[in-house]
């Protein structure tokens, strides 16, 4: 543990599990108080909240919210302000991911993916911006390498992440100089439950210069760097993909 983020308050969306939980743990280990946002993973969120508070009493708060609801962004931000009267850091990690083959995709799927992956982070940033500006705070959006090169059968998802990448750059321009906005684009870090076969995974790894998958902690480290150690960096998207973008 260190105290380089001591006194700061970080909101991490989708923080109950996987990459979001790794980010929450990393920021907390550096002294930040953490809002653990979740939608449905109640038990996971409760366990993480308990874990963080056991390490440092009163340093974590879980907040449930469906970010597709119009009132949710302001409500989640309000929870941080009610508890700690400040907000310094926002990590837009929550995301929806599922296949949408062109011959079968529905308008409902289009609306759901764009709402979760584009609308929600935008309006969270809007709601957080005044408070972040008070603290010269920062936002990190979790993008995806598929924002640049689309994934087959995931056209809508890929489009949403491309929109999130442009949002990152646009908000960096709009919210500067008081708020920095950057992104992290993971590659092969965690496989979805219904994802690639073992053979397909091995083939993908073989085409990655570092010849391995990454970990949630790799993503968390990049997020921490952008939030804490890069005061002259804004509007950038850092790939955390083992060099995979060089070969896909």
Residues tagged active-site: 157
Is 79:72 a contact under the CB 8 Å cutoff? no
Can you give the C-alpha Rg of the chain in angstroms? 17
Q: In sequence order, what DSSP letters do the residues of 191-220 get, joined into one string?
A: --TT---HHHHHHHHHTSTT-S---HHHHH
Contact 179/138 with Cβ under 8 angstroms?
A: yes
Per the CB < 8 A criterion, the answer to whether 227 and 138 are in contact is yes
Cα-based angle 238, 239, 245 (whole degrees, multiple of 5): 145
What stretches of 115-206 adopt beta strand conformation (E)?
A: 138-142, 180-186
Report the length, in residues, of the chain.
248
DSSP state of 69: S
Cβ contacts of 83 within 8 Å, gap of 6 or more: 33, 35, 61
Asked if 120 and 94 count as a contact pair (C-beta separation under 8 A), the reply is yes
């Amino acid at each position: 543990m260190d105290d380089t983020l001591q006194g700061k308050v970080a909101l991490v969306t989708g923080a109950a599990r996987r990459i979001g939980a790794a980010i929450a743990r990393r920021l907390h280990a550096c002294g930040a108080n953490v809002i653990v946002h979740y939608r449905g993973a109640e038990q996971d969120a409760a366990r993480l909240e308990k874990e963080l508070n056991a390490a440092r009493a009163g340093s974590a708060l879980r907040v449930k919210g469906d970010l597709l609801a119009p009132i949710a962004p302001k409500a989640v931000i309000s929870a941080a302000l009610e508890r700690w009267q400040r907000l310094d850091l926002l990590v837009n990690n929550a995301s929806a991911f599922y296949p949408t083959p062109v011959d079968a995709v529905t308008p409902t799927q289009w609306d759901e993916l764009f709402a979760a992956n584009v609308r929600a982070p935008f309006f969270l940033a809007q709601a957080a911006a005044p408070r972040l500006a008070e603290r010269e705070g920062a936002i990190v959006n979790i993008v995806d390498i598929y924002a640049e090169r689309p994934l087959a059968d995931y056209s809508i998802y890929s489009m949403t992440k491309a929109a999130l990448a442009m949002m990152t750059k646009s908000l960096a321009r709009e919210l500067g100089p008081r708020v920095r906005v950057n992104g992290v684009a993971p590659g092969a870090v965690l496989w979805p439950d219904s994802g690639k076969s073992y053979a397909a995974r091995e083939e993908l790894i073989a085409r990655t210069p570092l010849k391995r998958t990454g970990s949630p902690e790799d993503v968390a480290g990049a997020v921490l760097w952008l939030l804490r150690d890069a005061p002259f960096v804004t509007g950038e998207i850092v790939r955390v993909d083992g060099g995979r973008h060089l070969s896909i």
